[in-house]
Amino acid sequence: MSRKIMKVWKSKPTIEGAGVHLKRGFGYNQVPQLDPFLLLDDFHSDVPAHYLAGFPWHPHRGIETITYVLHGTVEHGDSMGNKGIISPGDVQWMTAGSGIVHQEMPKGGRDKLLWGFQLWANLPARDKMMDPRYRGLTNKEIPEKRLSSGAKVKVICGTVEGVTGPVQDIVTDPEYIDVSLPAGVTFIHPVAGDHTAFVYVIDGKAFFDEERNPYAHEVIGDNYFDFKRDCLFGPESLIQYERRGDEIRIKAEDSPVRFLLVSGRPIGEPVAWYGPIVMNTQEELQKAFEEFEKGTFIKHRG
């Protein structure tokens, strides 16, 4: 059975780090409806003053942060001794676990354009204090496949028609796929029956379920007096699916479309969240910040 759309909303402008202008696909206000995912940020600008201040040294605990760069570069370093540059097409998959301190400093390309995404995935209580892990994946290490339908997929995590992404052994069994559809092409992808699934549109427009009824799902941020809804969704739209159904069907009509498709197993635990730390209780949050002040936050170094 094909999944239906449950909610749709647009990303919203916000400022994070030391002054980075970005669009937030979802975040604190959507917890726990996108469990196990916590946040999706879309950083997209050709104005250096909007991103060069970056994200100076800061801690994380209890989550995974996944950075995917389309244009420009992001210089990074962390308390385990990892450092380098995330270039176009590259992915940084960082499991903060018991604690990591890192920085991410964006740089535009020759055209000054910076574009990428950061996704936060939660960790269950049993894994929140695991040793931190770092995976730096270059564009060449992430498989791309042209499907018989004409669709092109880049598989960061998960499997599409026999192609498996390089990020594996993640506790919430996530999928993270970059999909490009030519006009007129339908993309059909199986999703585990109990998994949360959403799409974030990068470019173009498409129909994201078979129902095509603009009044069958909730549209967040609608004008109260606007009765002219559409069921074609375009850039910076976040489409959340119902959990019923075992596949997702997306069709590009008159124009091509590119989107991120993400899914994962819900954790179903309490979330205590403040800034870059996500735990299960307020007491655990307090302990994390006390340890950071005392210099005992980092439990593992490379």
Per-residue pLDDT at 40: 98
- Predicted confidence (pLDDT) at residue 222 exceeds the cutoff of 70: no
Contacts 24+ apart (CB under 8 A), 14-23: 16/41, 16/55, 17/53, 17/54, 17/55, 17/56, 17/104, 18/53, 18/54, 18/55, 18/56, 19/50, 19/53, 20/50, 20/51, 20/53, 20/54, 20/55, 20/106, 21/45, 21/47, 21/50, 21/51, 23/236
Model confidence pLDDT, tens digit, residues 56-67: 999 999 999 999
Mean pLDDT across 32-49: 97
Per-residue pLDDT at 61: 98
168, 95, 240, 238 alpha-carbon torsion, rounded to 10°: -110
What six digits make up the tokens of 283? 């007491």
pTM of structure: 0.95
Q: How far apart are CA 252 and CA 93, in angstroms?
A: 30
Model confidence pLDDT, tens digit, residues 52-99: 999 999 999 999 999 999 999 999 999 999 999 999 999 999 999 999
Q: What CATH topology corresponds to 5-294?
A: Jelly Rolls (2.60.120)
Q: Are 253 and 26 in contact (CB under 8 A)?
A: no
SS3 141: helix
Based on the number of CB atoms within 10 Å of its own CB, is 221 exposed (0-12), middle (13-18) or buried (19 or more)? exposed
Give the residue extent of every domain in the chain: 5-294
SS3 104: strand
- Predicted confidence (pLDDT) at residue 223 exceeds the cutoff of 60: no
The confidence band for 302, taking pLDDT boundaries of 50, 70 and 90, is low
